[in-house]
């Protein structure tokens, strides 16, 4: 998966809301200072950046099909509030498979996605913005 050392951040319970009745749980956060071999090609973060992978569980608590635009999720710099957009989206499976930005969820459906961000090195991701709302990421 990754070719350099990585840092696993132990997250606490993070139950966030993408939009009314669409719940997002942060399951895991990991950063890597090197290249990423996820998918069918090598990705290299920009100079001074690292890749941050965030495992999410998305739940549709409505009675209708809903579409979640995963490109409306950003990591934010806690000091400057600069937004770092999603660089890649993957299905959370044993074999890495790319996924689209628009996730369709049937009523009651739950699914996992891994979002990859390019983020400044030596900074733990503290803030997440989803669909225009800012959340503090809870760690243990």
pLDDT at 4 over 80: no
C-alpha span between 24 and 32 (Å, rounded)? 23
| 61-72: pLDDT as tens digits | 999 999 999 999
The token pair that represents 64 in the structure block: 């209708």
Q: Which residues contact 15 (CB under 8 A, 6 or more apart)?
A: 23, 24, 25
- The reported pTM is 0.89
- Whether residue 91 contacts residue 56, with contact meaning beta carbons closer than 8 Å, is answered with no
Binned at pLDDT 50, 70 and 90, residue 2 comes out as very low
Task: Let me know: does 129 contact 81? Beta carbons within 8 Å.
Answer: no
Predicted confidence at residue 43, as pLDDT, reads: 79
Q: Which two tokens stand for residue 118?
A: 């390019």
Asked whether the CA dihedral 133, 10, 95, 64 is positive or negative, the reply is negative
- Cβ distance 39 to 96 under 8 Å? yes
pLDDT (tens digit per residue) in 17-53: 999 999 999 999 999 876 665 555 677 888 889 999 9
The tens digit of pLDDT for each residue in 87-135 reads: 999 998 887 788 999 999 999 999 999 999 999 988 899 999 999 999 9
Give me 68's structure tokens.
């979640």
| Alpha-carbon gap, residue 136 to 87, rounded angstroms | 21
């Amino acid at each position: 998966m990754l070719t350099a050392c990585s840092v696993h951040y132990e997250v606490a319970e993070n139950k966030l809301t993408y939009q009314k009745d669409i719940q997002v749980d942060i399951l895991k956060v990991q950063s890597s200072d090197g290249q990423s071999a996820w998918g069918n090609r090598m990705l290299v973060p920009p100079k001074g950046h690292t890749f941050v992978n965030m495992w999410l569980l998305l739940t549709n608590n409505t009675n209708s099909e809903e579409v979640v635009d995963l490109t409306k999720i950003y990591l934010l710099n806690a000091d400057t509030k600069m937004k770092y957009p999603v660089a890649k989206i993957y299905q959370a499976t044993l074999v890495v498979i790319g996924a689209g930005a628009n996730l369709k969820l049937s009523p009651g459906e739950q699914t996992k996605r891994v979002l990859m961000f390019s983020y400044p090195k030596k900074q733990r991701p503290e803030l997440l913005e989803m669909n225009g709302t800012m959340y503090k990421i809870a760690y243990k």
